[in-house]
């Protein structure tokens, strides 16, 4: 699958709960592609499922890797990472991932600056929520990535996305004037897109902002 959802000027919405996992060359490791530059290389965003006991061969990350563990426990030679853990492996690093009991992870490959050398591991289960806009609460992961908790009935202001926005719905249902996005939905909104988001039930999202324009310019 080449050049899949790689026009970053277009909005993409995928409810991953309605997609089918496709087996990968690593036995027991299955994927749902969200965006992909090439079949097994280049810039990629996907949901990856490890069945119990599955392991992948050691591999490198030429332009880095970001992981958010959605279910189960994801592991590599450096440690075990339960659901709710954010991992950032900088360009040039490598590892051999596996899962003893099975897991699902949200993965972004080859989307970092080659000069970025910071390795990050954050177990969000052990960090505190901090006040955000209005009644929203935030757990920062990086300068442009965070978890955001929306209490029941919360509404945000109508706003635009300078550099775009990427959301993965972890709990509840995220809503705006364009649609409704239940748990498991991935939303990629392009540079200068606008919306007026709100929720009807407590909702938690993983969100990245401001990173898509730079990627579009180098595509």
* Domain assignment of residue 188, given as a range: 128-218
Model confidence band, residue 26 (pLDDT cutoffs 50, 70, 90): confident
C-alpha distances in angstroms, 137 versus 91, 129, 134?
Answer: 31, 6, 9
86 inside domain: yes
Residues 181 and 117 occupy one common structural domain: no
* Residue 12 covered by a domain: no
Bridge partners (DSSP) listed for residue 30: 23, 49
Number of domains composing the chain: 2
Q: Is the dihedral of CA 150, 153, 159, 164 positive or negative?
A: positive
Structural domain ending residue among the three candidates 71, 89, 123: 123
- What is d(CA 38, CA 125) in angstroms, rounded to the nearest whole number? 34
Mean pLDDT value of segment 13-33: 93
Q: Cα–Cα distance between 108 and 106 in angstroms, integer? A: 7
Q: What is the pTM of this model?
A: 0.94
The mean predicted confidence, pLDDT, of the chain is 93
Which pLDDT belongs to residue 52? Answer: 97
Provide the 10 A C-beta neighbour count for residue 4: 15
User: Would you place residue 218 in the very low, low, confident or very high pLDDT band (cuts 50, 70, 90)?
Assistant: very low
What are the tens digits of pLDDT across the range 102-117? 999 999 999 988 988 9
Task: Say yes or no to pLDDT of 38 above 90.
Answer: no
Q: Per residue in 39-83, pLDDT tens?
A: 656 889 999 999 999 999 898 889 999 999 999 999 999 999 999
Instruction: List, in order, residues 6 or more apart from 189 with CB less than 8 Å away.
Output: 11, 161, 164, 165, 166, 167, 195
**Alpha helices, DSSP H only, in 117-199?**
none
């Amino acid at each position: 699958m080449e050049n899949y959802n790689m026009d970053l000027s277009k909005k993409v919405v995928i409810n991953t709960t309605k997609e089918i996992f496709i087996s990968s060359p690593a036995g027991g490791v299955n994927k749902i592609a969200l965006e992909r530059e090439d079949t097994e290389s280049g810039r990629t965003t996907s949901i990856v499922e490890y069945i119990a006991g599955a392991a992948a061969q050691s591999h490198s990350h030429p332009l880095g890797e970001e992981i958010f563990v959605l279910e189960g426990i994801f592991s590599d030679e450096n440690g075990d990472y339960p659901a709710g853990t954010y991992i950032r492996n900088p360009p040039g690093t490598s590892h051999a991932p596996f899962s003893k009991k099975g897991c699902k992870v949200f993965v972004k490959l080859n989307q970092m600056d080659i000069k970025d050398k910071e390795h990050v591991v954050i177990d969000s289960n052990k960090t505190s929520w901090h006040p955000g806009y209005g009644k929203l609460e935030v757990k920062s992961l990086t300068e442009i990535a965070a978890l955001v908790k929306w209490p029941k009935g919360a509404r945000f202001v109508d706003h635009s996305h300078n550099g775009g926005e990427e959301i993965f719905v972890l709990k509840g249902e995220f809503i705006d004037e364009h649609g409704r996005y239940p748990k498991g939905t991935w939303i990629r909104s392009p540079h200068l897109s606008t919306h007026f988001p709100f929720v009807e039930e407590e909702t938690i999202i993983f969100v990245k902002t401001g990173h898509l324009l730079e990627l579009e310019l180098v595509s």
